[in-house]
Amino acid sequence: MQYNKVTPEFIAQLEKIVPGKVHTGSDINEDFYRDEMPIYGSNPPEVVVDGTTTEDIAAIAKLCYENNIPIIPRGAGTGLTGASVAIHGGVMIDMQKMNKILEYDEDNFVVRVQPGVLLHDLAEDALGRGLLYPPDPGEKFATLGGNVSTNAGGMRAVKYGCTRDYVRAMTVVLPTGEIIKLGATVSKTSTGYSLLNLMIGSEGTLGIITELTLKVIPAPKETISLIIPYENLDDCIATVPLLMKNRLNPQAVEFMEREIVLASERFIGRETFPKQIGGVEVGAYLLVTFDGDDFDQLNDLVEKAAEVVLEEGAIDVLVADSPAKKRDAWAARSSFLEAIEAETKWLDECDVVVPVTKIAEYLKYVKSTEERYCFKIKSFGHAGDGNLHIYACGDDTVDEATFKKDVEVFMKDIYAKAAEMGGLISGEHGIGHGKMDYLADFSGAAQMRLMEGIKHVFDPKMILNPGKICYKVQ
Ligand SMILES: Cc1cc2nc3c(=O)[nH]c(=O)nc-3n(C[C@H](O)[C@H](O)[C@H](O)COP(=O)(O)OP(=O)(O)OC[C@H]3O[C@@H](n4cnc5c(N)ncnc54)[C@H](O)[C@@H]3O)c2cc1C
C-alpha cells in the first residue's frame, strides 16, 4: 500500500474545514510522536488537527480518503502498545479538545460525553451526583474515547467488568467520511451483528468515535481496603479464588511483589506497606477493596476475608479504613509503572491474561526464564481477573538492539506459555503496533483472515490508523 504525502494544497483544504486548528512542523508537540511505550516506535504525524465536531471530522476523513492519506485518532497518548503512533505519517486527529460532559439521563443511568473527556473528570463529576462510572484503569488521565478504543480494564474489573460493559451507544465517523450511530440508551439488544462491540477495542482502526453514551450506576456509599502481606507469591495468589468462593465479592484484588512495592515507595517517597512482620520477611501482597452501602456489613466482609486469608497463609491483615490510609495504599499501587520507568533504561511489557488459578504457576515460569536474558523481569497485576503486567527492564549496560532481540524471544516464549495455560495475549492494553506479530502467531490464519476482512469492509483504502492490530502495510 502506498500512501500519498501531505501537500501544501491539502493543508489549505484542511484549513478551510477547521480554520486555525491545523498544526504542522515545529508547531506539533513531540508528545504526538509516541505513546507511553516508546520502544514500539516514534514518528511525527505530518499534520495534527484539533478535533472539533463530528461533521468536521467527517469532512477531514473524506478528504483523507479522497487523497489516500492516513488518518489517526489520538486520545491522551497514554496507550502502551504504540497504537496511536502515526507510523506511516498522515493526519492525526487530536480528540482531547472534544472534552465536554454533555448530559446525564439519571432515570436511565447513562451519561452522554464527547470522547476527549478524561476518565478522571467523568469519574469525579459522576461521584458528585452519587453515581459511579465503574471502569477504573490505572491511568486516570486517559480519554474515554481511548478507553473505549482499547476496551480498558483496570482495578474494578473483577466486580464490575471492563469498559465494554459500560458502552451503550456511540457516534462514529468512518474512514470514508460517513457518520453512523451505533447502539442506543437501552440495556438489551439482539439487533443484528453488534457493530458497537466491534468498535470497542478496535484501537482506532475501524472508525473515529466522536460521541459516547456510557452507563453509570449508583455509587456505593462506603469502601474499605485491606493490605494483606504474605511470605511468598504462591501463598498470596492461592487465596484469591477463596475470596470469590466465599462470596466476598471484592471490588478490586491486586497482587504485588515486594520488589515492585519497594520501587514504588522509593518513587513516591512514602512507606505504606509492611516489610517484616513478627520476624517474617514479606515477599508479596494483596491489596483488596470491598464496597457497599452499609459500614457494618463491610466490616463483616472484612472479618470474614481476614479469617479466610489468615487460615490460608497470610501473615497479617492491615485495614485501610480512613480516606488517608486508602489513598496511601492505592497511591503506591498507582505508581508502579512510573516507578519502573524511573529506574529503567529500556522497557517493554506484556499484558497477558491467564485463568486466576494459573497466575502463580505462570509467574513462576516467567521468573525462571530471567537468567536467559539481558534484563530483569518485574510483575504486578490484577489478581482478581488474572490480568498480569510483566515488564522486561534493561539497564544501561545493555544496548537497544540486544535488548530488543532478547525481548522478542522472551515475549514469544511467555505468550506461548500463556496460550498453553488457557490465556490470551492482552487483557486490557490491546495489540496496537507492538504486539501484532504475537497476535498473528496466537490467533492463527483463519482468525487473522476474518480480522483483515473486517478491517477492509470498514476501511476500503486502509487509511485509518494503518499498521495496527491485523493490518501490516507492505
Ligand atoms: C501509568 C499507566 C497506567 C495504565 N493503567 C491501565 C490500566 O490499569 N488498564 C488499562 O486498560 N490501561 C491502562 N493503561 C493504558 C492506557 O491508559 C489505556 O490504553 C487508555 O485506554 C488509552 O487512552 P488514551 O486516551 O491515552 O488513548 P491513546 O493512547 O491516545 O490511544 C489509544 C488507542 O485508541 C485510539 N483512539 C483514541 N481515541 C479515539 C477515538 N475517539 N476514536 C477512535 N479511536 C481512538 C487510538 O487511535 C489508539 O489506537 C495505563 C497507562 C499508563 C501510562
Q: Per-residue pLDDT for 329 more than 90?
A: no
Q: What is the pTM of this model?
A: 0.96
Q: What is the DSSP letter of 246?
A: T
- DSSP H helical ranges for 54-118: 54-67
Report the alpha-carbon distance of residue 469 to residue 149 in Å, rounded: 12
Q: Per-residue pLDDT for 272 more than 90?
A: no
- Residue 335, ligand 1, Cβ within 6 A: no
Report the alpha-carbon distance of residue 91 to residue 47 in Å, rounded: 5
| List of long-range contacts for 125-129, beta carbons under 8 Å, 24+ apart | 125/101, 126/216, 126/219, 127/219, 129/104
Q: Per-residue pLDDT for 107 more than 90?
A: yes
- The pLDDT mean for the chain works out to 95
Place of cell 515492585: 260
Could you tell me if 10 and 90 are in contact, meaning their C-beta atoms sit under 8 angstroms apart? no
- Angle, CA 385 vertex, CA 350 and CA 268 arms, to 5°: 65
Place of cell 453515581: 131
- Residue 18, ligand 1, Cβ within 6 A: no
- Residue 135, ligand 1, Cβ within 6 A: no
Report the alpha-carbon distance of residue 320 to residue 437 in Å, rounded: 43
Report the alpha-carbon distance of residue 203 to residue 226 in Å, rounded: 35
Report the alpha-carbon distance of residue 35 to residue 82 in Å, rounded: 6
Helix (H, G, I), strand (E, B) or coil at 266: helix
- Residue 76, ligand 1, Cβ within 6 A: yes
- Residue 149, ligand 1, Cβ within 6 A: yes
Return the percentage of the chain with pLDDT > 70, whole number.
100
Q: What is the DSSP letter of 75?
A: S
pLDDT interval class at 204 (50, 70, 90)? very high
pLDDT digits (tens, 9 = 90+) for 108-128: 999 999 999 999 999 999 999
- Residue 75, ligand 1, Cβ within 6 A: yes
**Cell of residue 178, nine digits:** 460517513
Considering 161-170, 262-271, 332-341, the range whose residues carry the highest mean pLDDT is 161-170
Q: Whose CA is nearest to atom 21 of ligand 1?
A: 147
* 56-67 burial: b if 16+ Cβ within 10 Å, else e: bbbbbbbbbbeb
> What pLDDT sits at residue 320?
85
- Residue 387, ligand 1, Cβ within 6 A: no
Ligand 1 pocket: which of 139, 330, 425, 471 to mutate (most atoms within 8 A of CB): 139
Report the alpha-carbon distance of residue 134 to residue 40 in Å, rounded: 30
Cα 314 to ligand 1 centre (Å): 35
- Residue 328, ligand 1, Cβ within 6 A: no
- Name residues whose C-beta falls within 8 Å of residue 369's C-beta, 6 or more positions apart in sequence: 377, 410, 413, 414
Q: Per-residue pLDDT for 41 more than 90?
A: no
> What pLDDT sits at residue 270?
87
Cα 94 to ligand 1 centre (Å): 13
Report the alpha-carbon distance of residue 87 to residue 176 in Å, rounded: 21
Q: Whose CA is nearest to atom 20 of ligand 1?
A: 147
> What pLDDT sits at residue 27?
96
Do the bridges between strand 47-50 and strand 91-94 make them parallel or antiparallel, or are there none, so unpaired? Answer: parallel
Domains along the chain with CATH numbers: 8-96 (3.30.43.10), 99-218 (3.30.465.10), 222-337 (3.30.70.2190), 344-420 (3.30.70.2740)
Ligand 1 pocket: which of 81, 143, 179, 436 to mutate (most atoms within 8 A of CB): 143
> What pLDDT sits at residue 28?
97
**Cell of residue 279, nine digits:** 520476624
Could you tell me if 123 and 347 are in contact, meaning their C-beta atoms sit under 8 angstroms apart? no
Report the alpha-carbon distance of residue 341 to residue 25 in Å, rounded: 29
Report the alpha-carbon distance of residue 364 to residue 242 in Å, rounded: 20
- Residue 153, ligand 1, Cβ within 6 A: yes
- Residue 147, ligand 1, Cβ within 6 A: yes
Could you tell me if 383 and 240 are in contact, meaning their C-beta atoms sit under 8 angstroms apart? yes
Q: Which of 138, 163, 153 is nearest to 215 (CA)?
A: 163
**Cell of residue 53, nine digits:** 465536531
Cα 74 to ligand 1 centre (Å): 9
Do the bridges between strand 131-132 and strand 179-183 make them parallel or antiparallel, or are there none, so unpaired? Answer: unpaired
Q: Per-residue pLDDT for 321 more than 80?
A: no
- Residue 428, ligand 1, Cβ within 6 A: yes
Report the alpha-carbon distance of residue 91 to residue 23 in Å, rounded: 10
- Residue 137, ligand 1, Cβ within 6 A: yes
User: Is the C-alpha dihedral spanning 402, 403, 405, 410 positive or negative?
Assistant: positive
